[in-house]
Amino acid sequence: MVHTSLDVVDEKISAMGKALVDQRELYLGLLYPTEDYKVYGYVTNSKVKFVMVVDSSNTALRDNEIRSMFRKLHNSYTDVMCNPFYNPGDRIQSRAFENMVTSMMIQVC
Amino acid sequence: MEVAAGGGCGTGPPLLLSDSEQQCYSELFARCAGAASGGPGPGPPEGTRVAPGTATAAAGPVADLFRASQLPPETLHQITELCGAKRVGYFGPTQFYVALKLIAAAQSGLPVRTESIKCELPLPRFGMSKSDGEIRFGNPAELHGKKVQIPYLPTEKNSHKRMDDEDKQESQSPTMSPLASPPSSPPHYQRVSLSHGYSKLRSSTEQMHPAPYETRQPIGQPEGSSSEGPGAKPLRRQASLIRSFSVERELQDNNSNYPDEPWRITEEQREYYVNQFRSLQPDPSSFISGSVAKNFFTKSKLSIPELSYIWELSDADCDGALTLPEFCAAFHLIVARKNGYPLPEGLPPTLQPEYLQAAFPKSKWECAIFDSYSESMPANQQPCDLNRMEKTSAKDMADFPVPTQDVTTGDDKQALKSTVNEPLPKDVAEDTATSKDCYSLKARPRSRSYSSTSIEETMKRGEDPPTPPPRPQKTHSRASSLDLNKVFQPSVPAANSGLLHAPPALPPRPCPTQSEPVSEADLHPQLNRAPSQAAESSPAKKDAIHAQPPSKPIRRKFRSENQTTENQEPAAAVGGAASAAMVKPHPTVQKQSSKQKKAIQTAIRKNKEANAVLARLNSELQQQLKEVHQERIALENQLEQLRPVTVL
């Protein structure tokens, strides 16, 4: 399912035409509402894609919240990137990053 | 065994040593003997190879040890005589143990007699600077002779050294090996004195509260330090150790809210880190890029995830680069990890950049002493002070004082290049003298005490020849100097900063001397202002302006007559103010004042030159302006001529 959503992301990216480096553009919105879950997409300037899968039963999540979550995610990701010991493509093992993600998830739930 | 030997030798009354005493004494003896026979070699690993039954302990380490007991020299003489060393001419095991017992007796207040040693005595205390701290170290479980897991720079240094050898990275080894020498002498000395304290620690743990982290270091030293330990150096180091120890005491008192002792960086470690920083990046106020740091830290042979985690902890602003405090924190964490300490969950308070920046100006000064190129080390200090005082943006401060300090440290650098080692003993001795005075104040312990005379030293030496600026980009362009002027003065209260930087020699110097009578925490800025104000506002401000682009390099050779005459006036005024400002004319401080006068004069000369350059620039720009005006007029005329035509 994540892969299909990635395909959707690619579709949307290519649909953007000239890449506008705008924060709004980065947020792709609700990608693909299915029965069980919703998938949200977010692309960074460096074309790194964040995909967020949310359980559909959680109706409290609003668009703004998703946006803010992605923003936080992006910030944490850049912090991780700053680490010269981090090889892009590796699994992120940063504790701060994980803490942030966990706190976000807990907050939502 | 030793007791039996003692009995067998029959040099004195039979020694009755308790188990703990036996252990302690044999350790101490092994150290002394090992130090002696191993020469300036590594610590306990080699020391332990030397059997405890080695015949003699050399006089050097034994003498150091005895001095560490802080007994008066007469007592030590008595003890030496009594224990029979003088008679037999060497410190055999018996003599050594008797001597230790006598030391314990003397420390307990008993008269030094052979009868004293028959009593039950506490273990002798060897309270040199760090050894006392060591004694206070409250984790005997962790401290275990060779197994001491102490992040200490010799260990780190050695590990780096080994890495270098193994990796055959020659770029690193030359960096390491010269740096090995200054820290190596402390290791040697400390090893001797502190290991004794450590032995005592192992045997008796009462009256120990958590010691400053610094105390752990020496224990770690024996692990792998390759100490040369020339005789002069241990003495010098002794002075510095006393100083650092007193600082540690004060710090402990003042920073009792920092219980995480292992994460406290000592001055020597700090020096080491700063040296390493400089090897990677000549400008101490600038960054080490991520890739450079990565290569460097990778040599420590820690795993990548660990290094990644350490980076995450230490790069507080997450900018992908390490400033000097960040670098020190990272280095410290690496050293800790290599010594087996688990990495903390978060950056300990003693490793945070603000703390490090504020707390360790001294180490930077010492680096100036030690290093052949002392760059704007004090620049960091000035920003620290300023930051604390005013909380303005760190960058402005860092940028700005840097050129100022260039003058001083640049001079320092050149002076030092010629004589690196010679000034050191003097400096440290002076440092000790005046810094000890500063210890009476508990305010801003580290910055104060550190800044006391080491700053003075470096300042005075630093001011004579301005080196080619390590940061040319800051000063060599006129525009930048202009900008700096504009940026700096409006952005910072001119009184504070301008006066702070104006007479570069003044602020730190009067600070310790004036601070002696007045024990207040924030005397530093006030003192800076006070002598500066005393030094007349106008030359001070002028100096402030001039001080900014200080390392217009070696233009001081340019001496226009105007400058010299002008220099003499303000220099005399400033010098007079400086000497007037010095409340207590210590002989050393007086010497420094004259040297500072010269330094101030030089600074003034340079500032005059900068002024001349700026004036020239001004005139050129005026010229251009005139030309442009003329062109404009010409064009307007043409327009006028054309207009009537078109209108018609």
Which residues of chain A are within 8 Å of residue B308 when distances are taken between CB atoms? 83, 85-86, 93-94
User: What pLDDT is attached to residue B376?
Assistant: 44
At which residue do the structure tokens 């007991």 appear?
B69
User: What pLDDT is attached to residue A64?
Assistant: 77
Name the A residues in 87-106 with CB < 8 Å from any B CB: 93-96
Please indicate whether, in this complex, the C-beta atoms of B294 and A78 are within 8 angstroms of each other: no
Q: Is the pTM here over 0.80, yes or no?
A: no
Tell me the two tokens of residue B164.
């270098």
Please indicate whether, in this complex, the C-beta atoms of B312 and A96 are within 8 angstroms of each other: yes
Q: Any chain A CB within 8 A of the CB of B179? A: no
pLDDT in tens, B426-440: 444 444 444 444 444
User: What pLDDT is attached to residue B491?
Assistant: 45
Which residues of chain B are within 8 Å of residue A84 when distances are taken between CB atoms? 289-291, 293-294, 311, 320
Distance from CA of A90 to the nearest CA of B (A): 11
More confident residue, B165 or B110: B110
* Mean pLDDT across B528-533: 46
Query: ipTM of the predicted structure?
Result: 0.70
* Mean pLDDT across B524-553: 46
Please indicate whether, in this complex, the C-beta atoms of B320 and A85 are within 8 angstroms of each other: no
Which range, B23-32, B105-114, B324-333, has the best average confidence (pLDDT)?
B324-333
- Could you tell me which chain A residue has the CA closest to the CA of B344? A95
* Mean pLDDT across A5-24: 51
Does the pLDDT of residue B344 top 60, yes or no? yes
Name the B residues in 99-138 with CB < 8 Å from any A CB: none
Does the pLDDT of residue B271 top 80, yes or no? yes
- Could you tell me which chain B residue has the CA closest to the CA of A85? B308
User: What pLDDT is attached to residue B151?
Assistant: 42
Helix (H) or strand (E) holding A53: strand A49-55
Helix (H) or strand (E) holding B479: helix B478-491
Please indicate whether, in this complex, the C-beta atoms of B290 and A94 are within 8 angstroms of each other: no
Does the pLDDT of residue B365 top 50, yes or no? no
**Residue from the list A80, A84, A93 with its beta carbon closest to the beta carbon of B305:** A93
Burial of B92 (0-12, 13-18, 19+ CB in 10 A): buried
User: What pLDDT is attached to residue B292?
Assistant: 80
Strand ranges (E), B24-119: none
Does the pLDDT of residue B106 top 70, yes or no? yes
More confident residue, B310 or B120: B310
User: What pLDDT is attached to residue B92?
Assistant: 73
More confident residue, B610 or B119: B610
Which residues of chain A are within 8 Å of residue B320 when distances are taken between CB atoms? 81-84
pLDDT in tens, B576-592: 444 554 555 556 777 87
User: What pLDDT is attached to residue B628?
Assistant: 95
Which residues of chain B are within 8 Å of residue A83 when distances are taken between CB atoms? 290, 308, 311-312, 315, 320
* Mean pLDDT across B547-555: 46
User: What pLDDT is attached to residue B624?
Assistant: 95
Q: Any chain B CB within 8 A of the CB of A86? A: yes
Does the pLDDT of residue B638 top 80, yes or no? yes
Q: Any chain A CB within 8 A of the CB of B307? A: yes
Which range, A77-86, B572-581, B600-609, has the best average confidence (pLDDT)?
B600-609
- Could you tell me which chain A residue has the CA closest to the CA of B303? A85
pLDDT band of B227, cuts 50, 70, 90: very low
Least confident of A84-98, B99-113, B230-244, B623-637: B230-244
With CA atoms as reference, report the closest residue to B506 among B591, B431, B568, B582.
Answer: B582
pLDDT in tens, B295-306: 888 887 777 777
Tell me the two tokens of residue B412.
């320092």
Q: State how far the alpha carbon of A68 is from the alpha carbons of A64, A79, B180, B350, in Å.
A: 6, 17, 51, 34
User: What pLDDT is attached to residue B620?
Assistant: 94
Q: Any chain A CB within 8 A of the CB of B344? A: no
Does the pLDDT of residue B113 top 80, yes or no? no
* Mean pLDDT across B189-193: 44
Distance from CA of A68 to the nearest CA of B (A): 20
With CA atoms as reference, report the closest residue to B470 among B419, B421, B416, B411.
Answer: B411
pLDDT in tens, B37-60: 544 434 444 444 444 444 565 667
pLDDT in tens, B279-289: 877 776 777 77
pLDDT band of B319, cuts 50, 70, 90: confident
Question: What gap in Å lies between CA A73 and CA A67, rounded to an integer?
Answer: 10
Torsion of CA B454, B456, B459, B464, to 10 degrees: -120
Q: Any chain B CB within 8 A of the CB of A72? A: no
User: What pLDDT is attached to residue B600?
Assistant: 93
pLDDT band of A78, cuts 50, 70, 90: confident
- Could you tell me which chain B residue has the CA closest to the CA of A77? B318
Residue A40, beta-bridge partner list: A30, A52
Does the pLDDT of residue A42 top 50, yes or no? yes
- Could you tell me which chain A residue has the CA closest to the CA of B313? A96
User: What pLDDT is attached to residue B597?
Assistant: 92
Domains of chain A by range and CATH? 1-107 (3.30.450.70)
**Residue from the list B289, B311, B345 with its beta carbon closest to the beta carbon of A85:** B311
Tell me the two tokens of residue A27.
């947020």
Which residues of chain A are within 8 Å of residue B304 when distances are taken between CB atoms? 85
With CA atoms as reference, report the closest residue to B592 among B522, B485, B532, B513.
Answer: B513
More confident residue, B64 or B540: B64
* Mean pLDDT across B161-188: 44
- CB count within 10 Å of CB B104 equals 24
Question: What gap in Å lies between CA B336 and CA B151, rounded to an integer?
Answer: 4
- CB count within 10 Å of CB B524 equals 24
Does the pLDDT of residue B25 top 80, yes or no? no
Q: Any chain A CB within 8 A of the CB of B327? A: no
More confident residue, B32 or A78: A78
What values do phi and psi take at B12, rounded to 5? -160, -170
Mean confidence (pLDDT) of chain B: 58
Does the pLDDT of residue B631 top 80, yes or no? yes
Does the pLDDT of residue B322 top 50, yes or no? yes
pLDDT band of B221, cuts 50, 70, 90: very low
Does the pLDDT of residue B646 top 60, yes or no? yes
The residues, ordered by sequence, that sit 6+ positions from B405 with a Cβ below 8 Å of its Cβ are B376, B377, B378, B379, B382, B462, B504, B550
Distance from CA of A73 to the nearest CA of B (A): 15
Please indicate whether, in this complex, the C-beta atoms of A85 and B304 are within 8 angstroms of each other: yes
Does the pLDDT of residue B336 top 80, yes or no? yes
Q: State how far the alpha carbon of B163 is from the alpha carbons of B171, B172, B301, B505, in Å.
A: 12, 9, 8, 42
* Mean pLDDT across B472-485: 47
Which residues of chain A are within 8 Å of residue B298 when distances are taken between CB atoms? 85
Does the pLDDT of residue B637 top 60, yes or no? yes
Distance from CA of A80 to the nearest CA of B (A): 8
